[in-house]
């Protein structure tokens, strides 16, 4: 199936983008709406990406930002439950990595939820160290990949 990858542009795009991020990454843990936003979401160096199905459903979102001098960081990868396991996360992550390469970053890092570590491992990332625990229960691991 050919999915459509594009950055959000209109206010409606951004509303849908943040809503999916909220539904996948915050709502299941009873977090309030708005908790899905990050301070640097509106920074000019932050790139957002959405993936739509051919019939217009929003299937996944993710973002890229600088993580250090030569380092890009992927955050807030979220695939709609109905679309998980269909290659959506792979397409999003590979597109974000391509953007990082285009910007000249040498490596990409991320803090993976424990349940997502096998996905990132499959995509070439290696665990560096355990990192934070979110909402008292979701363990994260710092992972990196040379670009
Ligand atoms: C984690 C997530 C982004 C992965 O996206 P996805 O669209 O479900 O994954 P894909 O279908 O693109 O999988 C890509 C590859 O990783 C593999 N993979 C994905 N999840 C896996 C898992 N839990 N265990 C082992 N392999 C896995 C797939 O089998 C696939 O391999 P293949 O290309 O050889 O077939 C998505 O499932 C999601 O949003 N989960 C809930 C929120 C979350 O955890 N976000 C990440 C926060 S750090």
Atom 20, ligand 1: which residue's CA is nearest? 119
Neighbour tally for 21: CB within 10 Å: 23
Q: How far is the CA of 86 from the centre of ligand 1 (A)?
A: 8
Length of the chain: 147
Give 55-79 pLDDT, tens digit per residue. 999 999 999 999 888 999 999 999 9
* Confidence check: pLDDT of 1 > 70: no
Average pLDDT, the chain: 96
Report, in angstroms and rounded to the nearest whole number, the Rg of the chain calculated over CA atoms: 15
Q: Measured between alpha carbons, how far is residue 97 from residues 54, 101, 107 in Å?
A: 23, 6, 9
Question: CB–CB of 127/117 below 8 Å?
Answer: yes
**Residue whose CB lies within 8 A of the most ligand 1 atoms, among 75, 91, 119, for a mutation test:** 119
The number of domains in the chain is 1
| pLDDT tens, position by position, 14-44 | 999 999 999 999 999 999 999 999 999 999 9
The answer for 136, left when phi > 0, alpha when psi is -120 to 50, beta otherwise, is left
Query: Looking at residue 69, what is its pLDDT?
Result: 84
Q: Specify the ligand 1 atom closest to the Cα of 116.
A: 1
What is the model's pLDDT at position 32? 96
Q: Which residues contact 59 (CB under 8 A, 6 or more apart)?
A: 3, 51, 52, 53, 79, 80, 83, 86, 88
Alpha carbon 121 to chain centroid, angstroms: 15
Residue with CA nearest ligand 1 atom 33: 87
Q: Is the CB of 112 under 6 A from ligand 1?
A: yes
- Residue 72, domain CATH: 3.40.630.30
- Domain span at residue 68? 4-146
Long-range Cβ contact pairs of 121-126 (< 8 A, separation 24 or more): 123/90, 123/93, 123/94
């Amino acid at each position: 199936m050919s999915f459509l990858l594009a950055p959000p542009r209109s206010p409606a795009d951004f509303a849908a983008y943040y809503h999916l991020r909220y539904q996948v990454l915050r709502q299941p843990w009873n977090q309030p709406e708005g908790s899905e936003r990050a301070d640097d979401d509106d920074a000019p160096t932050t790139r957002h990406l959405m993936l739509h199905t051919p019939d217009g459903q929003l299937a996944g979102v993710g973002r890229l930002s600088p993580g250090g001098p030569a380092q890009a960081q992927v955050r807030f990868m979220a695939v709609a439950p109905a679309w998980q396991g269909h290659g959506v996360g792979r397409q999003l992550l590979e597109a974000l990595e391509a953007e990082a390469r285009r910007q000249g970053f040498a490596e990409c890092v991320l803090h993976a939820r424990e349940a997502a570590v096998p996905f990132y491992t499959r995509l070439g990332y290696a665990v560096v160290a355990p990192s934070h625990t979110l909402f008292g229960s979701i363990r994260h691991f710092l992972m990196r990949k040379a670009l």
